[in-house]
Structure formats: C-alpha cells, structure tokens
Amino acid sequence: MKRTLLLLVIGLLLASTYGLALEITSVAPSRAAPVTLVVLSGGPFSSQSRIFLGEQLVPASRVEPGRLEFVVPELPAGSYSLTVQDDAAIAMQPFLFEVLALPPQIASVVPDNLDTCADVGERLVHIEGRNFLPGAVVLLNGKSVASRFIDSGNLEFYFSELPAGVYGVEVRNPDGSASLPQSLWVNSIPEITSIERDEEFVNHYDIIIRGKNFFYNSILVVREPETLIGRPFRLLAFHATRGGAASSGDNLAARFDQLEYRDCRTLVYQRYPLDMQDKGLVFQVINPDGKKTGSYSVTLP
C-alpha cells in the first residue's frame, strides 16, 4: 500500500514537472527580415514568458496561453537560436530562426521625368532610399544597367537614349532581395520656348525656333493671314530634315521655304515671305508620333 502511494506521488510530481515545460510547436514565418511579425505556437505561455533570439531579449507584442507574437528586431542577417523561457522552464527543442537582410527600398528617383532631348548631364539619375548593399544592381524594366554605389541610401546611374515611355526602376541587392519599382517617365512631347528672327537675305530670312524634343522629321505648321477675300488664313506645312528640305504648301511661294533640323532643341525655318510687312504668325511643331507643341504666336513678315 505504501509502495503504491509512493509511486502515485512520484507520478504526480513528474506530471507536474513536465506540465511546466514550455513547448514551441511552430514558428511562422521561420525566416524574416527585421520589423516582421512572427507567431509562435505551443505553450503554455504567460506574461512571464521571455523570448530570446540568440542572446538578445525580444519583447512579446501579444501573449496567449498557446500563442506568442513578437516583431523581429534589427539584427544582422544570420541564423539565431529562438527560445522561450520563464521563471520555471525553458522551451524544449529551440528553433533555428533566420534573420534576413532588409530588402532595399526606393524613396525617390531624381529626376523622375526625362526628355528624349536631355543631354548627358541631365541623364544622370539619382536613386535615394535605404538598405542598399555594396554590389546592388539597378534594374530598368527588369534589365540591369551600369550604376554607381554611393552608400546604403544612394545610387546613381546614367539613363541611355531610349524611346519615350514609362520605365520601372528597381534596386536588387546581392542576396536577391529587390525593391518595389519606381516609375521613370521619358517624355517626347515637343515644346517651343522661343522664336527669333535671324539672318536676312535678299528675298528671305531665317527664323530660329528653339525648344526641346524636336525630331529630324518633325513638321512645322505655320498659320498666317490670307490676303485673298473670303479666306481668313492659310496653313503651310514644312517637313524638317537635316540640312534643310523642300516644303509643301498651298501656294507657289511656299515651295521655296525650307525647314532645317539643327538638333533636338533647334529648328531653322528659311522663310520667303510674299512681302516684308509684319503680320501675326502662329507656329506649331508636330512630331512623327503625333505629339505636338502648343501654338506659339509671333509678329514677323
């Protein structure tokens, strides 16, 4: 009888001892970057339960008898022993938890809008963000481009001459983690910024048209007052080519006019007016893709 009672007491003590043992049955996720919420299942957990990643104490953000939550602290990337303990017990079979490097993040791309006419200096693009690592690669629409690593928050790259459109800019670290893409716009909309009278000749003079995003085959449309009764104005259209070209219009004089493409910022219009009296002229440049400038008014012969 005494022997049976002793065995019962020992069994109760053992049951009580094992009942105090903490148990981690699952960790989700088992690998994560800092600031990620992690859920431990098992228990029994209490307000006295303490979470350790390696030797660092990590505060619990939520405690339930069978559930424990914490946020991954900012630790160097690597594998850490994950344990839970309280005043009476340590969790059996600690988990191996992998802290991942923070993924790169892009805060801004400057400039985020480029002209097709931008020169080399204007094509230098600066990426500002965080968590960039040495060896990080800049991706433009998924393809890597040559770039310069400045520090963990800054990268630079040159944008080559590419067709107009929207391009996605990403940063990918050597560990494979990548940022969300940021948009970089390439704009081909032409713009006239100034029109000025240049050299004069016996029967014609030059007009310098300055702006941006002109093409070698852009079209210049000129509206001028009509001298004939019943017609308020006439339209002349000139196709630009390198070195000047013949033009098209609705009268004989127009055929002498020419439009020369100097560069993407400069067009030269050789104008043969019917007379040298000043009149109101309206200019507009239309690109091959249909994009066009606003109307630009001047007073010239």
Residues 164 and 200 in one domain: no
pLDDT in tens, 180-239: 999 999 999 999 999 999 888 888 899 999 999 999 999 999 999 876 666 778 889 999
Average pLDDT value over all residues in the chain? 86
Q: Is there a single domain that holds both residue 295 and residue 219?
A: yes
User: Which is more confidently placed, 13 or 287?
Assistant: 287
- Distances in Å between the Cα of 81 and the Cα atoms of 31, 62, 65, 100, 178 are 12, 20, 22, 14, 27
DSSP bridge pairs for 49 = none
- Shared-domain flag, residues 205 and 276: yes
Q: How is residue 248 annotated by DSSP?
A: B
Domain with 65 in it: 25-99
> 33 or 17, which is more confident?
33
Could you tell me if residue 69 is inside a domain?
A: yes
Number of domains in the chain: 3
Q: Using CA atoms, how far apart are residues 140 and 123, in angstroms rounded to an integer?
A: 14
Cα–Cα distance between 225 and 49 in angstroms, integer? 89
Instruction: Give dist(CA 225, CA 213) in Å, integer.
Output: 28
Task: Report yes or no on 4 lying in a domain.
Answer: no
Domain boundary among 187, 221, 252: 187
- The gap from C-alpha 63 to its chain's centroid, in whole angstroms, comes to 40
How confident is the model at residue 20, as a pLDDT?
Answer: 53
Burial 178-195 (b: 16+ CB within 10 A, else e): ebebbebebbbebbbeeb
Which of 187, 210, 244 is where one domain is finished?
Answer: 187
Check whether 253 has a pLDDT greater than 50: no
Question: Which pairing describes strands 23-28 and 37-43: parallel, antiparallel, or unpaired?
Answer: antiparallel
Distance, CA of 98 to CA of 75 (rounded, Å): 10
Alpha-carbon gap, residue 251 to 200, rounded angstroms? 22
Is there a domain that residue 3 lies in?
A: no
Rounded distance, CA 253 to CA 233, Å?
15
Looking at the structure, tell me whether residues 71 and 43 fall in a common domain: yes
- Phi, psi values for residue 8, rounded to 5°: -65, -45
Distance, in Å, from the CA atom of 109 to the CA atom of 129, rounded to the nearest integer, reads 9
Instruction: Residue 229: give its domain's CATH number.
Output: 2.60.40.10
Label residue 133 exposed, middle or buried (CB < 10 Å: 0-12, 13-18, 19+): middle
* 269: nearest Cα among 244, 290, 296, 286: 244
DSSP 16: H
Q: pLDDT (tens digit, 9 = 90+) per residue, 53-79?
A: 999 999 999 999 999 999 999 898 899
| pLDDT tens digits for range 141-189 | 999 999 999 999 999 999 888 889 999 999 999 988 999 999 999 999 9
Residue 8 in this model has a pLDDT that exceeds 70 = no
Q: How far apart are CA 299 and CA 28, in angstroms?
A: 74
Indicate if the pLDDT at residue 295 is higher than 60.
yes
